[in-house]
Amino acid sequence: MKNFNITRRHFGMLAAGAAAVAALPFSARAAGGTAVAATFPGNWEDGYRKALTPILQQEGYGLTIAPAMAQDQLAKVMASPGNPPYDTLLMSPGQMATAIENDLIQKIDPSRLKNWGMLAPAFQGEYGPTVTIEVNGIAYNPDMVPKPKGYRDLFENPAYKGKVSWTGFASNTAVMAYSQIARIFGSGPTDMDAVFKLFRDNPEHLKGVVDSTNHQMTLFQQGEIAVFMCSTGNVARLKSLGMKAEFVQPETGSPAAPVNIHLTKGAKNLDAAYAYMDAAISKAAQDMLKMPPTEMFPTNKDVALTPSIEAYVTRDQLANMVYPDWAAINKNRADWIRKFDALVAG
């Protein structure tokens, strides 16, 4: 059993980041252990590897970034009780609630984080620090469509017909948008029957359904779509590639979600995991991550916002964002996924 556990963990490390590990000096890999950190793919993966690896190296630790969406992180940890493939997870409140309910993560010891005091109390969670606030809205190409006022516009203004892309309910970005659309066209944020009816009444929108936001980013770059539900980070990435992309906060408010690092129950490398967690909330890292192409909203209070981040959202506006009821979403999500998939499949 012991040999199997070691083999599985090493396999995960090799699959996720063998190249990055191989590039590290041996002393950096061996001195204090290596943290295996689950991180969202794409911009997050690249940004965290670039910003955090040098900081951990300086402190004698290695870092393996393992890209996986939050739902996939949960699935992999639940499949390996007592032997998690990651030391830390990166999640929003919806997945965090599921992880707590299933005893997959543990409370942290803030005294092990040098930068803990640089966070406002709202970002000091007992299950781990908030490293950014993901603000969501609508991305659009101003050369192809007018600036949308909000979600209602996308279904009622013919200028957007056939030019909008959507994805399924497994995506946090999507489910936050659908909750708002249910509020607009239905009786409240959980009235998804109203959303499904809206799609049936506007079948051109079903043609724009794809499997992920990354897929939508590709379609947007190719000019095959002009609008999709996004985070500010998606638009920052498109702009860094020279694309004509703009972000708009819907007139009904921008959905937002804190993004937190969690310590898995049974984490193998506690010292390295805490060093990684501390690096993620340090001024040095967040000063890098606030710049293009990531432009993550900093939670360290000593990190000033850039003009481009303030154009998306200011610190004062954070309180006015729309923060979904994740308990209600978690209760219904599996049913919504089944119904939406059946609708798309026809």
pLDDT in tens, 254-268: 999 999 999 999 999
What percent of the chain has a predicted confidence (pLDDT) above 70?
A: 91
Give the mean pLDDT of 269-296: 97
- Looking at the chain, the domain(s) classified CATH 3.40.190.10 span 34-133+258-311, 134-255+325-345
Distance CA 208, CA 163 (A): 8
pLDDT value at residue 75: 92
Residue type, 319: A
- Exposed, middle or buried by CB within 10 Å (0-12, 13-18, 19+), for 101? exposed
Distance in Å from the first CA to the final CA of the chain: 46
Give residue 31's pLDDT. 66
Cα–Cα dist 58/22, whole Å: 17
How many CB atoms are located within 10 Å of the residue 211 CB? 11
Please tell us whether the domain made up of 34-133+258-311 is placed in CATH 2.60.40.420. no
* CATH code at 134-255+325-345: 3.40.190.10
pTM to 2 decimals? 0.83
